[in-house]
Structure 1
Amino acid sequence: HVIAGDSIRSGQGEKQATGISILSLVLGAAALAAGAGDAAMGIMMAGQRAALGDILAFTRVQESTADATGARLLSQSGISGKGLLQFFNKLQNEEYRLAVYDKDSFDRDHPLNSERIEALHQKLSSDPAWNKPVDPQLEARFERVKAKLLGFVDPKQAVLKYPESNQSIPAHYARAYAYHLGAYPDKAEAEADALLTIDPHDPFFLELKGQLLLEDGKPKDAVAPLREATKRSGDAPLIAAMLGHALVETNDPKNFQEAKQILKVAVNRDNEDPFAWYELGIIYDREGDQPRASLATAERSNLQDDPKMALASAQMAMKGIPPGTPDYLRAQDIAMVSRAELAKKDKKYRKDGNE
């Protein structure tokens, strides 16, 4: 969808459908003026249906194009498309489970899963990479991700799927988070330590250890593993933000300068993390730099869809930040966007109130 620019081109489909809808209304009004009330109603209803069908057809083409692009990218990357087909088969099975059966695709904004599977199978099964085994390193990372998610989302199921007899890396990962969420801190830390025994320099094992300690109320103990994790991950923004949080939570003023530098780097690399902005705002506040604390709050509120708070904070920031500086211009941008968003919401509220 990104490569095809679908989010930009979606307006084309809407414009064409709107044209059909308006034309049907004009013709219906003409029929009504001529005294043909039933014909007018039929024309308008048919026009609305035609407009809906037109935009649904437009989105189906976009989805089919996206499928073909995905298949092409897999081929260019030398990756088998079997996983993509398995995913669509899962979607189809879910539809069967919910008694959503294939009829025709004319009243849907996506092609039928059966149609998508057939089209993709024709493309992918003839590709040289079709029977190519998955990269073992990629598969190992994916198994970690699945285990981590299961430990977070369903701790009980994680413990059942990964019993303690299973000493694999994904099993340690899953049990660590499951025990952590189940309030068994000693068991959770033991699983993290087992991972660090396997590879003491893995940044994600270090991150896990630091996260467990931090969330168990031991921020001082969490700093060392999180600092090492940040270093070995190349200053990954999410890990760096957690390190900044740990440094702030120590309540030691000696750590605040390091926390500020780390968090500034984190938001420069990923400025869409509200938590990092929140922590950076705390640092500025404790330093007595209220204008930049307000700017951090404006950034966070802007990300959290709170234009009222974003506008108030941006205005407060501009009162104390020298005009023309990057921070001042950023506060000005947030204020402008927030005003527009508030005006948009107010207009919608008034419109809904008059209907």
Structure 2
Amino acid sequence: MFAKPVFEAANLYPDGIEIYLVRDSRINAFVAGGQKLFIHTGLLQRARTPEQVIGVIAHETGHIAGGHLSRLRQKMQGFSAESILGYVLGGATILAGRADAGAAIIMGGQDAAQRSLLQYSRTEEGSADQAATKYLDKAGISSRGLLEFFRILKKDEVTKTADQNPYIRSHPLTAERLSFLEKHVAESPLSDKRLPPAYQEMHQRVRAKLDAFLLPPEHTMRLYPLGDTSLPARYARAMAYHKDSQKDKALAEINGLIAEHPTDPYFHELKGQIYFENGDLKEAVKSYEKADELLPNTPLIQIALGRSYIEQNDPKMFEKAIDILEQAVRVEKDSSFAWRQLGIAYGKAGKMPESSLALAEESLLQRRYKDANYLAARAEKGLKTGSPQWLQSQDIQMTAERLLKKQNK
């Protein structure tokens, strides 16, 4: 919703750019591996308006269109998102497609790698700023959000928190850049134009969801007290109650939202999660199936639904799990968690070669190349020669062997 108009204004194919959400409280966004855009949760939580987020996306799009960071693109081309994060950030958790996204991020001494590989020159930064304003103008969106975001960064510099802000390190903020944006905003007829309410509401919901999932429950309750009856606040409280093991209160909040917004898939998804994590698998399946019905072909929902089918340990459910998870990995190819769930489903259904193949994909994404090679070879023995899955096992083995050699150089 936020990125598509910018990508189209830059004459880029929106579906060709993959966006990943990285669990890290620091403000950052960067492009790597060709057309993979990584956005830190901290940036979304800190941004106060959707225009600020879209401004950053426009700036990063300028780097994509400008072909900047070619040295990193050459190193990372063809790598999975998880491999890129492992290389650059030391194994950061990607929230998209991960049911284990509560795991702590590991930065492990990788700041030097990030600083050297993701460093833009002043010329590249100025070029990306100019491109960003061009794309925003073409999309009919104010550049004021980008200027406001830069002022947030400037404040961080002044308060000596720049060392904690990787965006400042990789995107040097100069007086010239600020002056350019100030001049553009002063002259643009779009500067005071606000995005439609739907954008504002979506941004507030995203912030509420991130706050609730990433902050301690008591902190969330302070940010969204009981007196706040807005939709984002109720959504956040439902998640906070769930995290605090208050199932009944969590269900009361989410059921109230569903009563008012019965066709909102994300409310049904959260209800499914509450039931699943409290061991009520049948109710979890009902909620996830409703979410899938309302928002079909959405990998995150499909993965959660597939996992719920598996956990029922009912042979009738295993084929359902396989079907929905196969749909998910066709879109969410970089989710090692999805591949693992598919491997488990195949295994429980007695399809061992297919199970080994899915687990080989998981291992490859997690950079366990020896395991990937072994599992793919094992899968190959049980698959029909020349079949798509047999060819997939061959590809995994060749890729794993190539990356092993590269790793051992």
Normalised to the residue count of structure 2, the TM-score between the two structures is 0.69
**Structure 1 position 287, deviation (Å):** 1.7
Q: Which of 200, 213, 221 matches 1:139?
A: 200
CA distance in 1, matches of 2:305, 2:351: 22
Equivalent in the alignment of 2:361: 299
Q: Which of 343, 350, 354 matches 2:405?
A: 343
How many pairs align? 299
Equivalent in the alignment of 1:289: 351
Q: Which has the higher helix share?
A: 1
CA distance in 1, matches of 2:174, 2:138: 24
CA distance in 1, matches of 2:396, 2:125: 34
CA distance in 2, matches of 1:181, 1:263: 26
Equivalent in the alignment of 2:303: 241
CA distance in 2, matches of 1:124, 1:111: 20
CA distance in 2, matches of 1:185, 1:90: 38
CA distance in 2, matches of 1:259, 1:203: 20
* Cα 1:219/1:7, change in 2 over 3 Å: farther
Q: Which is greater in Rg?
A: 1
Q: Secondary structure at the match of 1:111?
A: coil
Equivalent in the alignment of 1:125: 186
CA distance in 1, matches of 2:208, 2:120: 39
Structure 1 segment 200-211 matched on structure 2, within 5 A: 200-211=262-273
Q: Does 1:114 align with 2:175?
A: yes
Structure 1 segment 93-112 matched on structure 2, within 5 A: 93-98=155-160, 110-112=171-173
Q: Which moved more, 1:302-311 or 1:136-145?
A: 302-311
Asked if the contact 1:64–1:111 (Cα under 8 Å) also holds between the matched residues in 2, the reply is no
Greater RCO (CA < 8 Å, at least 6 residues apart) = 2
Q: Which moved more, 1:233-242 or 1:117-126?
A: 117-126
Q: Secondary structure at the match of 1:2?
A: helix
* Cα 1:100/1:224, change in 2 over 3 Å: closer
Q: Does 1:90 align with 2:152?
A: yes
Q: Which of 359, 377, 382 matches 1:320?
A: 382
* Cα 1:167/1:59, change in 2 over 3 Å: same
Q: Which amino acid aligns with 1:180?
A: H
Is there any run of 5+ residues in structure 2 with no aligned partner, and where? 1-62, 75-116, 164-168
Q: Secondary structure at the match of 1:125?
A: helix
Q: Secondary structure at the match of 2:347?
A: helix
Question: Percent identity, aligned pairs only?
Answer: 40
Q: Which of 232, 243, 265 matches 2:294?
A: 232
Equivalent in the alignment of 1:36: none
**Structure 1 position 110, deviation (Å):** 3.7
CA distance in 2, matches of 1:250, 1:57: 48
Equivalent in the alignment of 1:4: 66
Q: Which amino acid aligns with 1:136?
A: P
Q: Which of 246, 270, 273 matches 2:332?
A: 270
Asked if the contact 2:315–2:349 (Cα under 8 Å) also holds between the matched residues in 1, the reply is no
CA distance in 2, matches of 1:286, 1:57: 47
CA distance in 2, matches of 1:336, 1:63: 38
Q: Which amino acid aligns with 1:285?
A: G
Equivalent in the alignment of 2:210: 149
Asked if the contact 1:92–1:113 (Cα under 8 Å) also holds between the matched residues in 2, the reply is no
Q: Which amino acid aligns with 2:360?
A: A
Any idea what the Cα deviations from partners look like across 1:56-102, whole Å, max 9, x if unmatched? 9973322222222222221111111222111111111112222669x
Equivalent in the alignment of 1:172: 234
Asked if the contact 2:120–2:171 (Cα under 8 Å) also holds between the matched residues in 1, the reply is no
Structure 1 segment 60-75 matched on structure 2, within 5 A: 60-75=122-137
Is there any run of 5+ residues in structure 1 with no aligned partner, and where? 13-54, 102-107, 348-355
Asked if the contact 1:162–1:175 (Cα under 8 Å) also holds between the matched residues in 2, the reply is yes
Q: Does 1:333 align with 2:395?
A: yes
CA distance in 1, matches of 2:120, 2:331: 37
* Cα 1:58/1:190, change in 2 over 3 Å: closer
CA distance in 1, matches of 2:332, 2:346: 19
Q: Secondary structure at the match of 1:3?
A: helix
**Structure 1 position 207, deviation (Å):** 0.6
CA distance in 2, matches of 1:344, 1:57: 24
Q: CA RMSD in A?
A: 2.2
Q: Secondary structure at the match of 2:187?
A: coil
Structure 1 segment 188-227 matched on structure 2, within 5 A: 188-227=250-289
* Cα 1:58/1:166, change in 2 over 3 Å: closer
Asked if the contact 1:88–1:113 (Cα under 8 Å) also holds between the matched residues in 2, the reply is no
**Structure 1 position 166, deviation (Å):** 1.3
Normalised to the residue count of structure 1, the TM-score between the two structures is 0.79
CA distance in 1, matches of 2:272, 2:218: 23
